[in-house]
């Protein structure tokens, strides 16, 4: 009964993804025609192509997001499975998560630019070329500085969403299923690994996608705003803008798809 | 009297249970004898489920649960510190009102208990699965579809599967919490017959709100009403010569 439904969903998802990609390509072309990228960029900055930029961005984003989401999931497991509802640590974490998820992600992007880049002086370091500068060989080379900045911002932006969605995923596993496993003498660890996680996994994955989509959307907005106001110093735009926008779209799509896959057992019986 | 005490596998002494500020059970005391079916009867919401959930420490997961009193399993306090709760639950199995098979194959459902106990040899698992499905008279019906999910089984078959799953852990006591609550009369008869067969090897605790069912299958019976154990004794006496007026009213159908 479930398989044809799943196939239908996969077909639908593929169609939406194709439509999105086509729309993005059209959009990209339209942007290129306005000559935003080639405007008056200096030759030194303009030499780097779009692809290295994109790969560089992904190289930076993917490991960090993986780590941060993993940390968020671990945190959610600890809070949801090991702490009682009245525990003050749990209440503190949950209130903070509610607070942080309530803030539009663009603000975190602005925070990243303002505080970590501007105030903390990281921005200067990133602008300087590694060779020939006083900062050469120090941790504040371009990628290192970006790495720290991005990790901190991801902890603020991505982790609360990851915690929240993982918690929801864990709660979506019905109590009777847990109880049946416990009643058979399973330990908490066995119940988690053999019953809860397999059932909650699609939703946890969806949560991770949603968290990432949030970060990507913020990045796309920032890159867009920055690019349109400072066309001169632009490198790799609109490639980056498209990467983040496309990423955000695809991830949110994947998130809703993964949420749809999971059908609770109770509705299957009825 | 002495021999009776020796056979007692589970003693509940002065047990009171609260969920938050609500007192669910009020100072219950009774003994469960080995190899018998002990029925707990009473109308809905009288505390049967809360009571049986105490007996294998499932209430540990209920928020705001607290209790006073003692539950002795084979002479030792079940709620003593450092008790291995998983080991307790392996010895005291439980089947719930609504059958909840896991979303894996029928085979894996029954093999689950053996697997978590560390048995992984396929020949051993095959034996366990076959033996327990035969015990619950389900083997002939599911032999050909062992690798499929239990969704296609009827509710009654699913309940039998849940019983087989619980038996595969080889418990000493099996608690059945209204196992026929969701079943039709024909499936109910199957479960009742099975319960009578199982008394050879197991001690059973059977919570039900059907008084006739308790009369048919149990050896001892306790009547719970609003969290109080009104009367406890041999089933025959409870149903033919009740000491308490409330019990009399309940078994004759005037109450609850």
Q: What is the pLDDT of residue A266?
A: 42
Mutate to test the interface with B, among A84, A171, A178, A180 (most CBs of B within 10 A): A180
pLDDT, one tens digit per residue, over B52-65 is: 888 888 888 888 88
User: In terms of pLDDT, which residue wins out, A51 or A203?
Assistant: A203
Nearest chain B Cα to A263, which residue? B103
Query: 10 Å Cβ neighbour count for A202?
Result: 17
User: pLDDT band for position A117 (50/70/90)?
Assistant: low
On chain B, the residues whose CB falls within 8 A of the CB of A186 are 86, 89, 116
| CB burial of residue A112 (10 Å; 0-12, 13-18, 19+) | buried
Nearest chain A Cα to B114, which residue? A184
Taking CB atoms and an 8 Å limit, are B102 and A181 in contact across chains?
yes
Taking CB atoms and an 8 Å limit, are B89 and A268 in contact across chains?
no
Beta strands across the sheet bearing B8-19: B22-33, B8-19, B65-73, B76-77
pLDDT, one tens digit per residue, over A158-189 is: 889 999 999 988 988 888 888 888 888 888 88
User: pLDDT band for position A32 (50/70/90)?
Assistant: low
- Residue B14 has φ and ψ, to the nearest 5°, of 55, 45
Stretch 82-141 of chain A: residues touching chain B, C-beta under 8 Å: 84-86
Average pLDDT, chain A: 72
On chain B, the residues whose CB falls within 8 A of the CB of A86 are 63
Q: Length of chain A, please?
A: 270
Contact between A73 and A159 under an 8 Å Cβ cutoff? The reply is: no
Stretch 188-217 of chain B: residues touching chain A, C-beta under 8 Å: none
User: pLDDT band for position A230 (50/70/90)?
Assistant: low
On chain B, the residues whose CB falls within 8 A of the CB of A176 are 96, 98, 100
Q: Any idea what DSSP says for residue A107?
A: H
Name the residue among A1, A179, A184 with its Cβ closest to that of B113.
A184
Taking CB atoms and an 8 Å limit, are B90 and A195 in contact across chains?
no
pTM score over 0.80: no
Query: What domains appear along chain A, each with residue ranges and CATH number?
Result: 3-268 (1.10.3720.10)
Interface predicted TM-score (ipTM) of this complex, two decimals: 0.85
Q: To the nearest whole angstrom, how far is the Cα of A96 from the nearest Cα of chain B?
A: 23
Q: To the nearest whole angstrom, how far is the Cα of A101 from the nearest Cα of chain B?
A: 27
Distance CA B156, CA B159 (A): 5
Query: 10 Å Cβ neighbour count for A85?
Result: 11
**HEC-encoded secondary structure of chain B:** CHHHHHHEEEEEEEEEEEECCEEEEEEEEEEEECCCEEEEECCCCCCHHHHHHHHCCHHHHCCCEEEEEEEEECCEECCCCCCCHHHHHHHEEEECCCCCCCCCCHHHHHHHHHHHCCCCCHHHHHHHHHHHHHHCCCHHHHHHHCCCCHHHCCHHHHHHHHHHHHHCCCCCEEEEECCCCCCCHHHHHHHHHHHHHHCCCCEEEEEECCHHHHHHHCCEEEEEECCEEEEEEEHHHHHHCCCCHHHHHHHCCCCC
User: In terms of pLDDT, which residue wins out, A146 or B141?
Assistant: B141
Name the residue among B61, B93, B98 with its Cβ closest to that of A184.
B93
Tell the residue number behind the tokens 């796309």, with chain if given.
A220
């Amino acid at each position: 009964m479930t398989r044809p439904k799943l196939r239908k969903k996969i077909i639908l998802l593929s169609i939406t993804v194709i439509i999105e990609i086509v729309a993005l390509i059209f959009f990209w072309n339209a942007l290129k025609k306005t000559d935003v990228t080639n405007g008056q960029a200096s030759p030194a900055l303009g030499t780097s192509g779009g692809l290295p930029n994109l790969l560089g961005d992904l190289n930076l984003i993917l490991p960090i997001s993986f780590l941060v989401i993993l940390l968020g999931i671990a945190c959610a497991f600890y809070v949801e499975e090991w702490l009682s509802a009245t525990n003050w640590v749990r209440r503190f974490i949950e209130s903070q998560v509610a607070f942080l998820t309530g803030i539009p992600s663009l603000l975190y992007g602005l925070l990243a630019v303002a505080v970590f880049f501007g105030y903390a002086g990281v921005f200067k370091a990133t602008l300087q070329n590694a060779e020939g500068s006083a900062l050469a060989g120090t941790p504040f080379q371009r990628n290192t500085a970006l790495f720290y900045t991005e990790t901190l911002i991801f902890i603020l932006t991505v982790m609360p969403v990851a915690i929240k969605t993982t918690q929801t995923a864990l709660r979506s596993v019905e109590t009777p299923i847990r109880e049946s496993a416990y009643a058979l003498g399973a330990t908490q660890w066995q119940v988690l690994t053999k019953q809860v996680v397999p059932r909650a996994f699609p939703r946890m994955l969806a949560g991770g996608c949603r968290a990432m989509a949030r970060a990507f959307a913020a990045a796309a907005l920032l890159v867009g705003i920055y690019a349109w106001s400072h066309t001169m110093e632009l490198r790799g735009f609109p490639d980056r803008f498209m990467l983040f926008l496309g990423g955000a779209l695809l991830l949110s799509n994947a998130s809703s798809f993964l949420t749809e896959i999971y059908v609770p057992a109770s509705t299957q019986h009825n | 009297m002495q021999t009776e005490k020796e056979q007692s596998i589970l003693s509940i002494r002065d047990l009171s249970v609260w969920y938050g500020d609500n007192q669910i059970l009020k100072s219950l005391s009774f003994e469960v004898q080995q190899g018998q079916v002990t029925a707990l009867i009473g109308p809905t919401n009288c505390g049967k489920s809360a009571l049986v959930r105490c007996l294998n420490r499932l209430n540990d997961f209920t928020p705001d649960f607290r209790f006073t009193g003692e539950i002795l399993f084979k002479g030792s306090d079940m709620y003593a510190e450092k008790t291995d709760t998983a080991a307790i639950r392996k010895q005291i199995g439980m089947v719930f009102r609504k059958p909840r098979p896991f979303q894996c194959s029928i085979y894996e459902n029954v093999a689950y208990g053996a697997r978590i106990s560390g048995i992984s040899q396929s020949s051993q698992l095959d034996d366990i699965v076959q033996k327990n499905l035969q015990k619950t008279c389900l083997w002939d019906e599911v032999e050909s579809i062992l690798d499929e999910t239990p969704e296609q089984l009827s509710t009654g078959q699913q309940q039998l599967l849940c019983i087989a799953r619980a038996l595969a852990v080889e418990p000493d006591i099996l608690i059945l919490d209204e196992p026929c609550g969701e079943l039709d009369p024909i499936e109910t008869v199957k479960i009742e017959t099975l319960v009578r067969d199982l008394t050879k090897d197991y001690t059973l605790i059977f919570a039900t709100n059907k008084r006739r069912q308790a009369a048919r299958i149990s050896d001892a019976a306790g009547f719970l009403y609003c969290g109080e154990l009104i009367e406890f004794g041999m089933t025959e006496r409870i149903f033919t010569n009740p000491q308490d007026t409330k019990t009399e009213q309940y078994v004759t159908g005037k109450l609850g």
